[in-house]
Amino acid sequence: MNDYINLHDVNLFYGTNQALKDVKLQAAKHEITAFIGPSGCGKSTLLRCLNRMNDLIPNVKITGEISVAGESLYGANTDVESLRKNIGMVFQAPNPFMMSIYDNIAFGPRRFGVKSKAILDEIVEKSLRAAVLWDEVKDQLKKSGLSLSGGQQQRLCIARALSVEPDVLLMDEATASLDPISTMKIEELVQQLKKDYTIVMVTHNMQQAARVSDKTCFFLNGEVIESAPTKTLFNNPEDKRTEDYITGRFG
Amino acid sequence: MQNLKDFKASKLAKIFNQFFMVSMWVLGIITVFFVLLLLFLILKDGLPYVTWDFVIGLPSEIDAGGGIGPMLLNSFYVTILSLLVSIPISLGAGIYLAEYAPDNKLTSTIRVCVEGLSSVPSIVFGLIGIALFVEYFQIGLTIIGASLSLAMLNLPLLTRVSEESIRAVPHSYREGSYALGATKLQTIFKVVIPVAMRGLITGLSLVAGRAFGESAVIILAGGVNASAEMWDFSLFSPGGTLAVHLWYVQSEAIVPDAKEIAHKSAAVLLFVVLAINLLFRIPLWWMERKMK
């Protein structure tokens, strides 16, 4: 299962501007794969190919092959909504909806037709527990999701992503706007989530990649320069550019 | 080279800063003062003399003591009907322009047209009303004619407000919704519109207040008379509203107490417009409490 997520020769163009060049990449099931690299290197762009969020931007052209669990994401009869349900995403800044904590979590299941209050209650509790937020909010589920602190909001967003039982969780610099304590909580959470989910994360923070991930991919100018088990990549980088980047000589 | 340490903060900049702040205060106070003065002048001659008989009473052409009942009813009736017609259309247009319309020449032309329409004088919409309802459909000066002409007047501003409020919703809300597998329709109605609601309601209250007090359109498309009996809800009754009646008694009527009626009508008109604005605050206030 080392190629649970498999990318083959992926090219992406914004109009005429090429943002990804011949990306080849594999990510294993129940592992955490981290994308690192300087700003504008294409790591977030690639992450957004995995749940087809790039579809929302006009004039994007993607070539090559991307598959998860052997199923092509860009096939002719891929159902985008089901695909996004199976591949959840957490964003850089917490973005809870302007509704109660409960409704934030119930939003996804409701979209897919879950109506029973009992089942929704169960999903809400399960998702909040999985995101280690339940104990903090169980008495205030009716309060607005926006009333929580930044770190809590981000865990709410993780819980929301888990509510539709995805297989893969994409995290786009999910701790970039959080303080160190909230960041640590999320990192611990990600370690636990790995048992049930396959996680791909983009991070600016190399220590975070080193601490959390099993595999790290280094991006530069839209290309994957090196991708290896995290320990190998950080201790014995093969490519000079990787070494320069992780030792802080540029970027 | 001069050392930056030798530079001092400019005294002039500080004085300008103070001066600007004081000017803004003074201008603000002047504005508030004039608004309050205006309110006082209009309300003092009318409001103390307004009685229930006046508010729901029938108007009189010859004797003193006529009421404004049918006109006031028409004002509400015409405003509500016009909003019922214009809200769905403008909301739809606003959603289209904000969420669906591609960024091209056609849509920017539409946008310019909508903006242009919102500065067209209201009497022009009255003329359209005459051409359409009186001359083409030959239904005369009616409530339905007045309402639909007024709806046309509401459309541009409401469309603009809807588009702006929806556009102002941060993109991150939409991304969050799409990432959960929601469709575009679900995203718009379940996530985006609730966030835009504040702007939508504020815009709606402006339009409703303006529609309630509109006179030019109504004079041409609804006439200066209202039904001769109270609680007449027929769509084909004459469509004169309170604002029109105010103009009518002041300039055309021969009743001896025309001036008092005008004063009292103005007071009622102003009172209702203020009440409409307050009324629209209630859902906002309620939403805000819920979202704290």
Asked, for residue B41, whether it belongs to a domain, the answer is: yes
H or E segment and range at residue A166? none
Q: What residues of A are in contact with residue B173 (Cβ under 8 Å)?
A: 95, 97-98
Strands A5-14 and A60-68, sheet pairing: antiparallel
How many domains are there within chain B?
A: 2
Mark whether B110 and B44 lie in a shared domain.
no
For an interface test with A, give the residue of B100, B103, B177, B180 to mutate (most A CBs within 10 A): B180
Mark whether B33 and B135 lie in a shared domain.
no
Mark whether B179 and B218 lie in a shared domain.
yes
Q: What residues of B are in contact with residue A103 (Cβ under 8 Å)?
A: none
Mark whether B152 and B17 lie in a shared domain.
no
Asked, for residue B2, whether it belongs to a domain, the answer is: no
Asked, for residue B67, whether it belongs to a domain, the answer is: yes
Rounded CA-CA distance A116/B28 in Å is 55
Residue tagged 């190399």 (tokens): A206
Mark whether B64 and B78 lie in a shared domain.
yes
Q: What is the pLDDT of residue A1?
A: 61
Q: What residues of A are in contact with residue B170 (Cβ under 8 Å)?
A: 95
Asked, for residue B207, whether it belongs to a domain, the answer is: yes
The minimal CB distance from A98 to the residues B175, B178, B195 is found for B195
| Structural domains present in chain A | 5-246 (3.40.50.300)
The minimal CB distance from A111 to the residues B173, B175, B181 is found for B181
Contact A160 B102 (CB under 8 A): no
Contact A97 B177 (CB under 8 A): yes
Q: What residues of A are in contact with residue B186 (Cβ under 8 Å)?
A: 111
Mark whether B20 and B91 lie in a shared domain.
no
Pick the closest to residue B238 from B260, B258, B221, B216 (CA basis): B221
- Residue A89 has phi, psi (to 5 degrees) of -140, 140
Q: What is the pLDDT of residues A52-66, one digit of tens each?
A: 999 988 889 999 999
Mark whether B37 and B102 lie in a shared domain.
no
Q: What is the pLDDT of residues A136-184, one digit of tens each?
A: 999 999 999 999 999 999 999 999 999 999 999 999 999 988 889 989 9
The minimal CB distance from A53 to the residues B103, B179, B183 is found for B179
Mark whether B179 and B274 lie in a shared domain.
yes
Q: What residues of A are in contact with residue B187 (Cβ under 8 Å)?
A: none
Contact A53 B195 (CB under 8 A): no
- Min Cα distance B157 → chain A (Å) is 26
Q: What is the pLDDT of residues A4-63, one digit of tens each?
A: 999 999 999 999 999 999 999 999 999 999 999 998 899 999 999 999 999 988 889 999
Contact A108 B292 (CB under 8 A): no
Q: What is the mean pLDDT of chain A?
A: 92
Residue B256, both tokens: 């001896």
- In contact, A124 and A105? CB cutoff 8 Å: yes
The minimal CB distance from B180 to the residues A58, A84, A98 is found for A84
Asked, for residue B188, whether it belongs to a domain, the answer is: yes
Can you give the CATH number for the domain in which B254 is found?
1.10.3720.10
Q: Is B291 on the interface with A (CB under 8 A)?
A: yes
H or E segment and range at residue A2? none
Mark whether B25 and B15 lie in a shared domain.
yes
Asked, for residue B21, whether it belongs to a domain, the answer is: yes
Mark whether B25 and B128 lie in a shared domain.
no
Asked, for residue B200, whether it belongs to a domain, the answer is: yes
Query: Which domain, by its residues, includes B180?
Result: 50-290
Rounded CA-CA distance B125/B130 in Å is 9
Mark whether B178 and B38 lie in a shared domain.
no
Rounded CA-CA distance B150/B167 in Å is 26
Burial class (CB in 10 A: 0-12, 13-18, 19+), A79: exposed
The minimal CB distance from B181 to the residues A56, A82, A98 is found for A82
Label residue A77 by pLDDT band (50, 70, 90).
Answer: confident
Query: Side chain identity at A53, as an amino acid letter?
Result: M
Contact B178 A56 (CB under 8 A): yes
Mark whether B38 and B129 lie in a shared domain.
no
Asked, for residue B150, whether it belongs to a domain, the answer is: yes
- Could you list the pLDDT tens digit for every one of the 292 residues in chain B? 567 777 777 888 899 999 999 999 999 999 999 999 999 999 998 889 999 989 999 988 888 888 899 999 999 999 999 999 999 999 999 999 999 998 889 989 989 999 899 889 999 999 999 999 999 999 999 999 999 999 999 999 999 999 999 999 999 999 999 999 999 999 999 999 999 999 999 999 999 999 999 999 999 999 988 888 888 899 999 999 999 999 998 888 888 888 899 999 999 999 999 999 999 889 888 887 776 6
- Min Cα distance B155 → chain A (Å) is 28
Q: Is the pLDDT of residue A251 over 70?
A: no
**Phi-psi map region of B3: left, alpha, beta (phi>0 left; psi -120 to 50 alpha):** beta
* A159 → chain B, closest CA residue: B180
The minimal CB distance from A144 to the residues B174, B180, B291 is found for B291
